Amino acid sequence: MAAASKQEAALVHAMDKGKKRLFILLGMATVLLYGLVFGVIWFIMTSAPQALRHIVVVSLVAAFAMLMLLMILGLGGLVFSLLFGLESPFLQKLGRGIVELFYPMVVRIGQFFGISKEEIEDSYIKINNQITVASGRKYKPEEVLVLAPHCLQNTSCPYKITIDVHNCHRCGRCRIDGLLTIAEDTGVNFVVASGGTFARKFAREYHPRAIVAIACERDLTSGIKDMNHQQIPVVGVLNERPNGPCHNTSVQLCKVRQAIAYFTEE
């Protein structure tokens, strides 16, 4: 059983690495685009009066060089973290800032090349997880909140678990039973939210120092951005949607256990 779990974890890790690279490649494309924009500005400035041209060009070159340096350092930190598990707090912080800076442009460039926003969000989540895990910060179990979406609950279930997750009768027809078991085994807090507003409400109520969030790409991306602003680290776990979005979804429990372990195991 243990060997099978290790093989499964290794397979998940290998798949995640490929998805992380997507965001990095699109980030590099963004750097190239910024370079092109600078080239256009440079061309336009060649027609300006010499004195003004000199001042503007020197200012632009200095600003661009600093921006490029920060971008390269940030992307370099992400690449080294992905390949070698780099644990530099400075580069991790810079890398996270670069990811946030690049995100809107990365989405546009990706869509121009026919890459769906969902794929880019997936890659963003993997990059975020990489940075969060690489920090190596550990917390007490009671400081960790597992936040799950209401769509994990079987739609035919009559019990209201968004008010109190322990209203679950643990029939096993959905993943809530398994998530409750994980919460009991690990000692973390576990809640089910009916939407983003309630997810943020639970975050304020429990005051977690770290969050394991289960959701679709769109909701995870939005939630991670919100928590980043509050400096609360998040490891995102994508749900599975065999019946379509927001309807009888599922999640791999081994991934949830692994995410909790990132935050709690010494």
Mean confidence (pLDDT) of the chain: 84
Where a domain ends, among 134, 149, 183?
Answer: 134
Residue after which a domain boundary falls, among 95, 115, 134: 134
Tell me the Ramachandran region of residue 148: left when phi exceeds 0, alpha when psi lies from -120 to 50, beta otherwise: beta
Strand partners, 149: 193
Comparing C-alpha atoms, which of 144, 138, 139, 127 is closest to residue 92?
127
Rounded Cα distance between 184 and 88, Å, is 34
Same domain, 90 and 149: no
pLDDT score, position 7:
54
Neighbour count for residue 244 (Cβ, 10 Å): 9
Residues of the chain with pLDDT under 70: 1-20, 44-45, 47-49, 52-53, 56-57, 77-78, 81-92, 95, 266
Q: What pLDDT, on the 0 to 100 scale, is given for residue 241?
A: 94
239 plus 152 within the same structural domain:
yes
Task: Point out the domain boundary residue: 99, 134, 169.
Answer: 134
With contact defined as beta carbons under 8 Å apart, do 97 and 86 qualify?
no
pLDDT at 160: 93
* Rounded distance between C-alpha atoms, residue 176 and residue 190, angstroms: 10
What type of residue sits at position 187? Answer: G
Cα dihedral 80, 85, 89, 90 in deg (nearest 10): 0
User: Considering just the CA atoms, what is the radius of gyration of the chain in Å?
Assistant: 22
107 and 187 inside one domain: no
Pair 152, 74 in one domain: no
Please state, in angstroms and rounded to a whole number, the distance separating the CA atoms of residues 219 and 56.
43
User: Do residue 127 and residue 202 come from a single domain?
Assistant: no
Bridge partners (DSSP) listed for residue 116: none
For the chain, report the end-to-end CA distance as a whole number of angstroms: 23
- Among 236, 234, 232, 233, which residue's Cα sits nearest to residue 252? 236
Whether the CB-CB separation of 56 and 48 falls below 8 Å is answered with yes
Q: Is 136 left (phi over 0), alpha (psi -120 to 50) or beta?
A: left
Q: Which tokens hold the place of 82?
A: 């992905």
CATH code at 149? 3.40.50
6/127 same-domain check: yes
Same domain, 19 and 77: yes
Instruction: State pLDDT tens for residues 246-264.
Output: 899 999 999 999 999 999 9
- Residues 123 and 145 both lie in one domain: no
**CA-based nearest residue to 186, from 139, 150, 228, 116:** 139
Burial degree of 106 (CB within 10 A; 0-12, 13-18, 19+): buried
* Distance in angstroms (rounded) separating the CA atoms of residues 181 and 35: 52
Residue 99: what pLDDT? 77
30: tokens are: 């963004």
Residue 31 and residue 75 in one domain: yes
Looking at the fold, whether 176 and 256 belong to one and the same domain comes out as: yes
Measure the CA dihedral 54/57/59/62, to 10°: -120
Going through 121-246 in order, the beta strands assigned E by DSSP cover: 144-149, 189-193, 210-215, 234-238
Domain count within the chain: 2
pLDDT tens digits for 5-51? 555 555 455 556 566 678 788 888 888 888 887 777 777 667 666 77
Do 56 and 78 share a domain, yes or no?
yes
Q: What is the model's pLDDT at position 82?
A: 64
Same domain, 125 and 168: no
**Domain housing 116:** 2-134
